Amino acid sequence: MRKEYFVVLAIAVGSTFDSGERIEMRVMAKDRLDAAIIAEQCADATLSDPIIQYTHALDVVPINQQSAALALAA
């Protein structure tokens, strides 16, 4: 079963592991590791210089479907 996850990614440039830039996204995945991989692949495709830039997941949080639905209804 796939769930929704909120993923925070850091952008790295060359040997600088963390440039200080962040990307946040929601993804559907079967588990936290899968969510991190999917988010990294999606974000890497959007980088301006993919030869030297890449992303890595900093945090992966499952989104509770009930609380998300209640927030949308409010």
Name the residue ranges covered by the structural domains of the chain.
Answer: 3-73
Is the pLDDT at 14 greater than 90, yes or no?
no
**pLDDT above 70: percentage of residues in the chain:** 86
Query: Tens digit of pLDDT for each residue in 20-42?
Result: 899 999 999 999 999 999 999 99
More confident residue, 26 or 64: 26
The mean pLDDT value for 15-20 works out to 81
Q: Which of 1, 21, 11 is nearest to 57 (CA)?
A: 11
On whether the CB atoms of residues 5 and 35 are closer than 8 A, the answer is yes
The CATH classification of domain 3-73, taken from the options 3.30.1280, 3.30.1300, 3.40.630, 1.10.10 = 3.30.1280
pLDDT of residue 68: 52
Sequence-ordered list of residues with C-beta below 8 angstroms from that of 1, at least 6 positions apart, any chain: 30
Is the pLDDT at 69 greater than 60, yes or no?
no
